[in-house]
Amino acid sequence: MYSSSPARPKSIVLAVFRSVGFLVLLTAPAAAGSLHTYINERGIKVYTNIGVNRTDLPRQETRSATRAKPNPYLPLIHESAQRYNLDADLVKAVIQVESSFNPRAVSSKGCMGLMQLHPDTAKRFGVRDAFDPAQNIQGGVQYLRFLTDHFNGKLPLVLAAYNAGENAVKRYDGIPPYRETQQYVRKVTTLYQSFKSLSDRANSSPQLNRVVMPNGSVLFTTEGN
C-alpha cells in the first residue's frame, strides 16, 4: 500500500503548461523553416528563415552613433571574387593596401583606381575605365586569378607579382629584393589574415534576432547584428 502525492494546484500546472507552450511557439518557426543566406550591403553574410534580402525588415538602431558607414564596394568585391573563385577577404586586403578604397587614386607610376591597375594591365584585362569601381575590381580580380594560377597558388609570389610584375618574380625566382615589394607582401598578408579571422568568427555562430512581421509571421534573421 502506498500514499498518493498531494495534488498540484491547478494554477501551478497551468503556469507550467503555458511556459512550455510559449517555448514551443518561440522555437518552432526556426526549426521548421530552412535558413537562407545572402550578402547584405555591408558585405556581411545574413541568415534568414523567410526568403532572402529582406528589404522590409525593420532596422535595429545602431549601438553607436559613430558606427562606420557601409562600404559601397563590398557587393562588387564579393561578386567578382565569387566569379573568379578567389577569397573576397584577399581582394579587400589588396584594395586596402593599394588605395585605401579610393576609386580615384592615382600613383606616381600611373596606376589607377581601387586596385591600382597599371594602364597595360587594365588594357590586358579589358578594363576601359579604370576609375569605374566595377570595371576596376573585376580587372584586378582577374589579374589576381591569373597570378594565382601562374604561381600555383603561392600567395607570397602572387602578391609580389601583383606589386612588381610577374616577370620580376620569375627573374629573381621568388619575391624580388625590392623594399617596397617585400613590405607590400607583408602588409597585404597580415591584413588578409585579419579580415579572414573576422569573417570566420562572423560566420561560425550567427546570432538570430526574432522579429514579428506586420502579417504576423515570425522572422528569424541575423540582419542588424
Is there a domain that residue 131 lies in?
A: yes
**Beta carbons within 10 angstroms of residue 28's beta carbon:** 11
Give me the pLDDT at residue 80, please.
97
pLDDT at 21 over 80: no
Mean pLDDT score, 204-209: 63
**Number of structural domains the chain divides into:** 2
Can you tell me the distance from the alpha carbon of 26 to that of 21, in angstroms, rounded to the nearest whole number? 9
Residues 21 and 39 both lie in one domain: yes
Residues 110 and 143 both lie in one domain: yes
Residues 49 and 103 both lie in one domain: no
Is there a domain that residue 116 lies in?
A: yes
Residues 213 and 174 both lie in one domain: no
Residues 199 and 124 both lie in one domain: yes
Beta strand 218-221 with 209-212: parallel, antiparallel or unpaired?
antiparallel
Q: CA 144, 85, 138: angle at the middle one, nearest 5?
A: 50
Residues 84 and 19 both lie in one domain: no
Each residue's pLDDT tens digit, 127-145: 999 999 999 999 999 999 9
| Confidence band for 11, pLDDT divided at 50, 70 and 90 | very low
Residues 96 and 197 both lie in one domain: yes
| Confidence band for 215, pLDDT divided at 50, 70 and 90 | low
Orientation of helix 88-99 relative to helix 74-83, angle to 10°: 130
pLDDT at 65 over 50: no
Q: Residue 195's domain spans which residues?
A: 74-203
Give me the pLDDT at residue 23, please.
37
pLDDT at 219 over 70: no
Q: Over the chain, what HEC string results? A: CCCCCCCCCHHHHHHHHHHHHHHHHHHHHHHHCCCEEEECCCCCEEEECCCCCCCCCCCCCCCCCCCCCCCCCHHHHHHHHHHCCCCHHHHHHHHHHHHCCCCCCECCCCCECCCCECHHHHHHCCCCCCCCHHHHHHHHHHHHHHHHHHCCCCHHHHHHHHHHCHHHHHHHCCCCCCHHHHHHHHHHHHHHHHHHHHHHHHHHCCCCEEEECCCCCEEEECCCC
Mean pLDDT score, 165-194: 96
Residues 57 and 86 both lie in one domain: no
Least confident among 96-100, 111-115, 195-199:
195-199
pLDDT at 102 over 80: yes
**Which span out of 1-10, 178-187, 212-221 was modeled with the highest average pLDDT?**
178-187
Is there a domain that residue 5 lies in?
A: no
Give me the pLDDT at residue 132, please.
98
pLDDT at 173 over 70: yes
Which of 61, 98, 166, 223 is labelled catalytic?
98
Average pLDDT, the chain: 78
**Beta carbons within 10 angstroms of residue 200's beta carbon:** 10
Which residues does 144 contact at the CB level (< 8 Å), separation at least 6? 84, 86, 90, 91, 94, 158, 162
pLDDT at 116 over 80: yes
Is there a domain that residue 1 lies in?
A: no
Q: Is 98 designated active site?
A: yes
Each residue's pLDDT tens digit, 182-194: 999 999 999 999 9
Least confident among 52-66, 95-109, 139-153:
52-66
pLDDT at 151 over 80: yes
Give me the pLDDT at residue 18, please.
42
Can you tell me the distance from the alpha carbon of 42 to that of 92, in angstroms, rounded to the nearest whole number? 13
Residues 115 and 130 both lie in one domain: yes
Residues 39 and 91 both lie in one domain: no
pLDDT at 168 over 70: yes
Residues 62 and 86 both lie in one domain: no
